[in-house]
Amino acid sequence: MESRNIFMNWKILNVSIPVKNLEVSKDFYNRLLNNKLEDKLFYKNFFENHNDDIFLGEGGFGIRLYIPKQDLEFNGTIQSRRTYITLIIENFDLVLRKLNEKNIKFIHKKNNDFEKIMVQEPSLNLIQLIKSNKVLDENYKKFIDKSNWYIHHMNLESLDVRESVSFISEFLDLEEGKWTAPKNKGDFSIDPRELSIFPMSSLNKGLHIIKPDDGFGFRNNFAHNPSIAGHPAFTVKDVKKVMDILGQSKILFSNAEIYAMPKFHQIYLYDLNANMLEINQEV
């Protein structure tokens, strides 16, 4: 039996990061990622008007910074208190059918030419899905051409990795892969009950699912514990420059170097609102 091509049927569109102050956070992210792109209008196709927000990136690809509000002000929709991801999927109609068949709760909306699903996986991470189309394919190429950075992966904390993986495999129709570790692997488990990956391409890009590991930071000599609360990871062209900026700004970071993924120099830090971030560079 020939295995189907697992790398072609989905992409990361953007991440939404909760912040307190849009302008201050915008400066922070722009500086760290050397970002020069800002979208004022197009990204609104994918989001409701419930939250004040801004978008760093273009054509839907990038980072949305948003201000969460009181949960009780939300009627008929949901918000996330944590960073959450939006994926573009090709098998949108199939996913819709499966969710309906099994009576999974979700929100389905059409907005201009875009169709979306919002759903929570079993560990309550919010995931937004957008139906793929030609416009987004073209926007992707333009963004990759113009941008100084891109989203490498989103890491989701799961209290039961196998349960989350089953849900994502069955209902989101993504295919689980195998973690590729480097030679000098750090002190963490790649047992699929503790760490899993839905690869979007080679090089561990995609969706990472991890069980919280209280000793992760301690054992690896990091100031941060990247197994707790999830994080987006951004690939930049010069991670040393990012470390210089962090040093000058007296922002604590963990320089993990190459320890979890071959060919990727990784660092961890908190943004201004204690959202865990990973920044990495392909080396």
Interacting residue ranges for Fe ion, rule: CB under 5 A: 155, 233, 278
For residue 99, the SS3 value is: helix
User: Residue 198 Cβ, how far from Fe ion at the closest point, in Å?
Assistant: 13
Reported for 47-55, long-range contacts at CB under 8 A and 24+ positions apart, including other chains, are 47/16, 48/77, 50/74, 50/77, 50/79, 51/79, 52/22, 53/16, 53/22, 54/22, 54/26, 55/14
CB closer to Fe ion out of 213 and 278:
278
Closest to 274 measured CA to CA, from 229, 241, 221, 220: 229
Closest to 232 measured CA to CA, from 93, 65, 100, 102: 65
User: Residue 231 Cβ, how far from Fe ion at the closest point, in Å?
Assistant: 6
CB closer to Fe ion out of 157 and 278:
278
**Sole residue written with tokens 């604590």:** 252
CB closer to Fe ion out of 95 and 165:
165
Q: Are 187 and 219 in contact (CB under 8 A)?
A: yes
User: Residue 208 Cβ, how far from Fe ion at the closest point, in Å?
Assistant: 6
For residue 111, the SS3 value is: strand
User: Residue 142 Cβ, how far from Fe ion at the closest point, in Å?
Assistant: 26
DSSP per residue over 120-154, as a string? E-TT--EEEEEE--HHHHHHHHHHHHH-SEEEEEE
Q: Are 161 and 196 in contact (CB under 8 A)?
A: yes
CB closer to Fe ion out of 95 and 156:
156
CB closer to Fe ion out of 64 and 231:
231
CB closer to Fe ion out of 92 and 179:
179
CB closer to Fe ion out of 93 and 187:
187
User: Residue 40 Cβ, how far from Fe ion at the closest point, in Å?
Assistant: 30
User: Residue 83 Cβ, how far from Fe ion at the closest point, in Å?
Assistant: 12
User: Residue 268 Cβ, how far from Fe ion at the closest point, in Å?
Assistant: 8
CB closer to Fe ion out of 130 and 197:
197
In angstroms, the CA 63 to CA 13 distance is 9
Query: Beta strand pairing status for 38-39 and 53-58?
Result: antiparallel
User: Residue 276 Cβ, how far from Fe ion at the closest point, in Å?
Assistant: 9
**126-146 b/e (C-beta count within 10 Å ≥ 16 → b):** bbbbbbbeeebeebbeebeee
